[in-house]
Structure 1
Amino acid sequence: MAAGLPGAAVAATAESTSAPGKPKVAGKEPLRPIVFVHGSQGSANQFQTQGKRFAANGYPSTYIDGLDYDSTFEVQKSAEIFAELDRKIDALLKKTGADKVDLLGHSLGTYMSQTYLKSDPARARRVAHYVNLDGLPASELPGGVKTLAIWGEGSPDRTVVGAKNVQFPGQGHTETVTSKESFAEAFTFFRGKAPRTTDVPLQLGLIQLAGRAVQFPSNVGLTGAKLELFRVNPRTGQRIGKAIGTQKLTGDGSFSFLANGISHYEFAITRPSGHVHHFYSQPARRTDRLIRLLTSEPGTGLDAVTDKSDNHVSVTVSRNKEWWGDQGAGSDSLTVNGTNVLNASTAPRTKRMLGIFAYDAGKDGESNLVQLPAFAGLPFIGGTDLFIQADPQGKGTVKVAQKQRNGRATETLNVPNWPSSKHRISIAFNDYLRQRWAATGCASTARPPC
C-alpha cells in the first residue's frame, strides 16, 4: 500500500511502529503505557503532539493511547465509559507487559478520571501516576494515586490536595494539554527524569498514520463510508496521482496507512450519498496513532446550520491550542486568502475557541467577519461569514495561514476550493511551535529539505 512513497524522512530519531515488547529506557521509574482521557467535545486527537513528544523520548508509539467517549452522555453512560477504559487498560498491560499504566485527564476528563479511580480500589491499583489537566480540584488524591495537577489561566486557588500542583497562568484551557511545558512536567513525573527533548523531531523512514473516523461530538465510529489517502502538492493542495491507500470504514472507524513524515496528505471520506469530507494538516513528522477525523452526517449537527452552494467554499480550521483574536500583539493570526478571520468578535480569549467555521452566510457573495449567531453560544467553536469563491472541480487554491502568538514563523496550508454543495473541508494546524526556525521559516532542527 505504501511501497515506493516519495520523500522519505531525512532526519534521525527512528521508531518502530510495531510492538517491541518491553523497551529498556533509563529512568528512575519504569516505562509504562499512557492513556489520555479528553474533555467535553474532545477526542484523543488532543494528545497527538504529546504522544509524539513521548515517542521522541523513547516511548514506543504503541504505548500511547487515548480513550474516546461520548462527552454528551447521550450514546454512552458513565458505567459504559468506565468499562471501556477497563478494557483499554487490560489491552495495554497485556500488550506491553507493564505492571500499571499512567493516566491523564483533561477538563471533563478529570471528572471522569477521578470518578474512575475512586470507584474501585482495584482500578486505582492499576494506575501508577495520574495527571489532572486544568479540570476538577480535589480534596485528596483520587483513589490514593500519586497525582500531578497542572492548571492554566484562571483561579490560582484551584488545587488537588496532596498532589504536586503546577500553575501555567499564561496558557489556555486546552493549551495545558498540548504545551511543551506541561509535557516536560508529565514526563518528569512519570519517569523521574527530565525529557531529552520537548520538540517533535522527524522520524526516519516510513511512519504510520492511524486512528479513527468518528461522528462529532459522540465519537461513535463512522461506518459504511470509504476513506482514501492522497499525497498533495503543498503549493496548491491538489492531489498528486491516485490514492496511495483506500480503506472501507467499518466498526469503530479505525484506519491505518503508511506514509512519510515530510509530505502533505489529504484524507478524504466519501459517503454513499456522494458527499466528500476532505481533511488537510501539516506534515506529521512522526508516527501518529491518535488521528481523529471528526465528521458528521450531512445536514445534521453543525453542518445543518452552515449555508452551502456550488459557488462558495466552506472550511473549518482547528488547532488544539486556543485561537486568541483580542490580545493585541499577543493575538494569533489566521488568514484565509489574506483575510484574518480572528478578531475580538470571532475569537475572544474567553471563548476558548479551538475551531472556526468560515463560509458564505446567506450565500450573498459578501463577507462580514463577526461571530455568527448560530455559533455565539457554543464553547470551543466559532463561525464567521467569509466568501471564498469555489470551482466546480476544486481546481483553484485556498491559502490558509497561521502565525501563532509569540511565534515568528507563518505556517501555510493550501487546499483546493471545493464547492460546499457536496464538499466539506477541515484544516488542522499544529498546536506547537518548532523550537528553532531558520530565516526561511524552515525548522533548523531538521536537515534540508524540511
Structure 2
Amino acid sequence: MGVSRRTVLMGAAALPLVASLVTRAAAQPVSASTASEIPPILFVHGNGDHAALWMTQIWRMESNGIPRDRLMAINFTDPLARGDDAVEQPNRSSTEQQRRELGAAIAELKRRTGAPRVALVANSRGGYSVRNYIKNGGGADVSHAVLCGVPNHGVYAWDDGLGGEFNGRGPFLRGLNDGESEVVDGTAFLTLRSDGHDKYAQPDGRFAGKPGTPTGITSDGPALRGASNLVLGTLDHRETGFHPRAFREIYKFIAGREPERTTPRPEATVVLNGLVTATPGGVPTNRPVEGATVEVFRVTPDSGERIGAAIHTAKTAADGRWGPAQVEPTWPLEIVLNSPGAPITHFYRSPFPRSSDVVHLRAARPLGAADAGAGAVLLMSRPRGYFGLPRDIVLFDGREPTDVKAGVPTDSVTTLRLPSPEIGRPVVALFNQERIVARGWPASENRITVAEVTD
C-alpha cells in the first residue's frame, strides 16, 4: 500500500441526545485573534471507550491557550461495535449510528462557537466515524482530521466475517478506501501510527483470535493515501492518541505551530465533574446511571489513608452526573462509586492539575471465580495506553505483574489479590514516573480497588 508521505518520528518509548453525547472541557482565556486562528476541536474516542480518555490532551490544549468553549469530547451512546455491522446487538452500535451521533456533536460545537468548520481528533474506531462522516457529505464541516492509531485498512483482511467493520475486505472499509486517494479533498488529513507496537496493526492474527494466521495488515495499516502520515516510534495503539508525543503532532497540525508546552499547566482551584455510566451485561456503554452514589476523599500520598471526611458526596440523577467537586491540584484522591448492581469501586487517582468535566466513572468488573478466597482485589489500570514490557516500568506492590505480556503492548489492567490479613494495607502502583498509593477493601463486602494511572 502506497502513501503520500512517510515521515518517521522516533519518540521516547513510553511514553435526550446531544447534551448527553457531548462533554465540555476547561481552559484559560486567550485573545480573540488566537481563538480565530485555530478551529474548535472535537475529540472522538474509540471502541468501548468514553470522553474521559481525552482529558489529558484537553488539558494540554487548554495549557496552550485554547479556550474551554472551543474544546469538546463526544460520548457515543453505545461505543462498542457490532459483530456484524448490519445485525442489531443490544447496547452496541453500527457505523451509521456513530456517524449520526458524530454529526450531532459537530453541529453542536459549530452552534456553540459560531465557527464554520471544526477539527476532529480521533483514536481507533473513532476514526471510522470521522472518515464516514466526512466522506458521506460532512467534509464542508471539517477543516482537519487527525486519525490516531485508526485501523484504516482493517485489523485483518479476511474473506470470512465480511460484515464486521474491522475487516479490511468488508463493505464498510472498502467503501471508505475506494479510489485513487483515500482522503476527501478540502479536509486536511493526518494519520499517527506506531512503529510495530500497535496490537491492531500486526501481520499475525493472534490479537484477532487467530494466532498464526496472516492478517493481511502491517504496521502501515493506519496510513492513508493522500494524507500526511507520521510514525511515532514505539508508542502503542492508544498512545498514538493520548501520549505527549501525539499531542505535539496533533497541535502542530491543527494550529500550524509548535506547542509552547506539552505538560498541563496547573490551576489554582480544580473543579471535577463527569458521568457515571452503565455496563449492562458487561457491555461498556455511555448511558447514564441514575441513583449511583459518589464520594470523593482526599488521601495521603504516602499511605493512601483518607484525610478527614468526604470532600464531596452526591447521588446521580437521570443525567448521571456526579459533580461538581472542588479539590486542590496537589491532592491525591479516592473516588468511591456505589453503582446499582455493581461492585463498590474505590478509584485511587493522582492529583488532578486542572479542572475537568470528563471524569467519567464506570464500576469495576464483577468479582469472579478467580477472586474467590481473596481478602481484597486490586486493579492497576491504564486507560490511555497499555503496559509495555520491557518498554515501561510497571510495578504493582513492588513486583512486575505476571499477567502483563511482554512484547507488543496489549494489556491495560493488571490484578493483585491480597489475603484477608492484609486487607487495608497500602499498595503502591508505579508506572514510569507516576506513583499511586491505594488501599485494599474487603472483597467480602463486594468492594474492589482500582489504582487508575493518568499518564
Please tell me the TM-score bracket, short chain as reference: 0.7 to 0.9
The one-character-per-residue Cα deviations of 1:71-111 (angstroms, maximum 9, x if unpaired) are 14432333333332222222222222222221012122212
- CA distance in structure 1 between the partners assigned to 2:39 and 2:421 by the alignment: 49
Contact 1:275 1:423 in 2 (8 A): yes
Query: 1:81/1:417 Cα in 2 relative to 1: closer, same or farther (>3 Å)?
Result: same
Amino acid of the structure 1 residue aligned with 2:356: D
- From 393, 396, 415, give the equivalent of 2:438: 415
Residue 209 in structure 1 maps to residue 277 in structure 2: no
- From 287, 300, 303, give the equivalent of 2:355: 287
The runs of 5 or more residues in structure 2 that have no matched partner are: 1-23, 83-89, 154-176, 197-217
Contact 1:21 1:95 in 2 (8 A): no
Partner-residue secondary structure (3-state), 2:275? strand
Query: 1:81/1:143 Cα in 2 relative to 1: closer, same or farther (>3 Å)?
Result: farther
1:46 Cα shift?
Answer: 2.1
1:178 Cα shift?
Answer: 1.5
1:423 Cα shift?
Answer: 0.8
What is the root-mean-square deviation in Å for CA atoms of aligned residues?
A: 2.8
Structure 2 partner of 1:402: 430
1:45 Cα shift?
Answer: 2.2
Residue 219 in structure 1 maps to residue 219 in structure 2: no
Partner-residue secondary structure (3-state), 1:258? strand
- CA distance in structure 2 between the partners assigned to 1:166 and 1:71 by the alignment: 27
The one-character-per-residue Cα deviations of 1:107-154 (angstroms, maximum 9, x if unpaired) are 2221222112222x2x22111110011211554214752111111133
- CA distance in structure 2 between the partners assigned to 1:18 and 1:332 by the alignment: 31
Structure 1 residues 215-224 or 97-106, which shifts more?
A: 215-224
- CA distance in structure 1 between the partners assigned to 2:302 and 2:25 by the alignment: 30
- From 402, 408, 430, give the equivalent of 2:454: 430
- From 135, 141, 144, give the equivalent of 1:129: 144
- CA distance in structure 1 between the partners assigned to 2:34 and 2:27 by the alignment: 19
Structure 1 partner of 2:300: 233
1:308 Cα shift?
Answer: 4.5
Amino acid of the structure 2 residue aligned with 1:64: L
TM-score by length of 2: 0.73
Amino acid of the structure 2 residue aligned with 1:165: N
Contact 1:266 1:280 in 2 (8 A): yes
1:40 Cα shift?
Answer: 2.2
- CA distance in structure 1 between the partners assigned to 2:420 and 2:382 by the alignment: 21
The one-character-per-residue Cα deviations of 1:339-384 (angstroms, maximum 9, x if unpaired) are 221x5x622233521222333xxxxxxxxxxxxxxxxxxxxxxxxx
Residue 146 in structure 1 maps to residue 188 in structure 2: yes
- CA distance in structure 2 between the partners assigned to 1:168 and 1:17 by the alignment: 26
- CA distance in structure 1 between the partners assigned to 2:353 and 2:310 by the alignment: 20
Structure 1 residues 267-276 or 189-198, which shifts more?
A: 267-276
Residue 26 in structure 1 maps to residue 34 in structure 2: yes
Query: 1:246/1:63 Cα in 2 relative to 1: closer, same or farther (>3 Å)?
Result: farther
Amino acid of the structure 2 residue aligned with 1:174: R
Residue 333 in structure 1 maps to residue 356 in structure 2: no
- CA distance in structure 2 between the partners assigned to 1:125 and 1:305 by the alignment: 53
The one-character-per-residue Cα deviations of 1:300-322 (angstroms, maximum 9, x if unpaired) are xxx44552457233334324122
- CA distance in structure 1 between the partners assigned to 2:26 and 2:220 by the alignment: 44
Structure 2 partner of 1:384: none
- CA distance in structure 2 between the partners assigned to 1:388 and 1:215 by the alignment: 30
Paired positions, count: 367
- CA distance in structure 2 between the partners assigned to 1:68 and 1:388 by the alignment: 38
1:265 Cα shift?
Answer: 1.3
* Higher fraction of strand: 1
1:233 Cα shift?
Answer: 1.8
- CA distance in structure 2 between the partners assigned to 1:86 and 1:429 by the alignment: 32
Query: 1:285/1:71 Cα in 2 relative to 1: closer, same or farther (>3 Å)?
Result: same
The runs of 5 or more residues in structure 1 that have no matched partner are: 1-15, 360-386, 432-450
After TM superposition, the structure 1 = structure 2 runs for residues 356-371 of structure 1, keeping only pairs within 5 Å, are: 356-359=414-417
- CA distance in structure 2 between the partners assigned to 1:399 and 1:208 by the alignment: 27
Partner-residue secondary structure (3-state), 1:118? helix
Amino acid of the structure 1 residue aligned with 2:285: S
Query: 1:148/1:319 Cα in 2 relative to 1: closer, same or farther (>3 Å)?
Result: same
Query: 1:60/1:305 Cα in 2 relative to 1: closer, same or farther (>3 Å)?
Result: farther
Amino acid of the structure 1 residue aligned with 2:354: R
- CA distance in structure 1 between the partners assigned to 2:326 and 2:355 by the alignment: 9
Query: 1:31/1:255 Cα in 2 relative to 1: closer, same or farther (>3 Å)?
Result: farther
- Percent of aligned pairs sharing the same letter: 25
Amino acid of the structure 2 residue aligned with 1:182: A
1:58 Cα shift?
Answer: 0.6
Structure 1 partner of 2:80: 71
Structure 1 partner of 2:100: 83
Query: 1:314/1:183 Cα in 2 relative to 1: closer, same or farther (>3 Å)?
Result: closer
TM-score by length of 1: 0.74
1:403 Cα shift?
Answer: 4.1
Partner-residue secondary structure (3-state), 1:267? strand
- CA distance in structure 2 between the partners assigned to 1:202 and 1:388 by the alignment: 39
- From 352, 369, 377, give the equivalent of 2:410: 352
Amino acid of the structure 2 residue aligned with 1:26: T
Residue 312 in structure 1 maps to residue 376 in structure 2: yes
- CA distance in structure 2 between the partners assigned to 1:354 and 1:22 by the alignment: 36
Query: 1:273/1:147 Cα in 2 relative to 1: closer, same or farther (>3 Å)?
Result: closer
- CA distance in structure 2 between the partners assigned to 1:198 and 1:389 by the alignment: 43
Runs of 4+ in 1 over 6 A off after TM superposition: 16-22
